[in-house]
Amino acid sequence: MVQSIHRAFDILAALAVEPAGLTELARRTGLPKSTTSRLLATLQDLKAVERSDDTGLYRLGSTLNSLAGSSSNTDLASLATPHLHNLTVLTSETSGISIPDGYRVHYLTQVDSDNPIQIRDWSGELIPMHAVPDGQIYMSEWPDERLARYFSLDPMPFTSATITTEKAMRKRLDRYRGRGYTWVKEEFVEGLNSVAAPVKNQGGHIVAAMHVYGPAYRFPVDGTEKGIGESVVKAADRLSRSIARSGLAP
């Protein structure tokens, strides 16, 4: 029994780094594939692990995410809300914050604008990294091998504009690194544009991303892309400083 618990924790520790398939998990943990498969089945029953229908990869499940992240995520969302409110007032569009979750972006909360035509609330949603600006920001810190592995899984195109190749994403990430924010135009949902900037901890590591999004017909207004992007960067920097002062370690 004790040995099985140790082995199960080895699997969970491996998945905490990034999602993986059965063969890769067995390699990382040094366990036989049959043992790994049996433990994964048990962990799936407990919802500690889940298997993606799209990629076939295993990842940490809802039970662990809720146990480990609910308190810190709530604290981060609360800390971010005043900054999001200011950003929404400044841009007249909806703003929000997310955190990375394996190969996905977890949208925590958003502050809606007063526009009569509203953007849907994405809070609580999990979205593939490549399709939204927050995810592309998280990808910017990935080692080359991880980025290559992600695109070897043939990520799904959500619209005709979705980036689905490693080469195109590397160009996008180079552009982001040069200015500190990134725009995504109708790459996840047709008719929706968004821009995001990184939120960092005291060590300079990206722990979250702040974004603004709105309907493509009005956002951004011609000639305002740079100014909006820089405003999101400033808001994200202010939140980074708030995190440092609070001692929160998301």
- Show me where the domains of the chain are located: 2-60, 65-246
pLDDT for residue 174: 95
Dump pLDDT digits (tens) for 5-14.
878 888 887 8
pLDDT for residue 53: 77
pLDDT for residue 13: 79
72: confidence class by pLDDT, cuts 50, 70, 90 = low
Calculate the average pLDDT of the chain.
89
Comparing 199 with 249, the larger pLDDT belongs to: 199
| CATH 1.10.10.10 corresponds to the domain 2-60 | yes
Report the CATH superfamily, name and number, of domain 65-246.
GAF domain (3.30.450.40)
Report, as an integer, the average pLDDT of 28-50: 89
Q: What are the two backbone dihedrals, phi and then psi, of residue 81, each rounded to the nearest 5 degrees?
A: -55, -45
Dump pLDDT digits (tens) for 134-190.
999 999 999 999 999 999 988 999 999 999 999 999 999 999 999 999 999 999 999
Q: What is the dihedral of CA 89, 90, 94, 95, to 10 degrees?
A: -110
Contact predicate 208/193, CB 8 Å:
no
Q: For the CA atoms of the chain, what is the radius of gyration?
A: 19
Dump pLDDT digits (tens) for 202-240.
888 999 999 999 999 999 999 999 999 999 999 999 999
Alpha-carbon gap, residue 141 to 76, rounded angstroms: 21
pLDDT for residue 142: 94
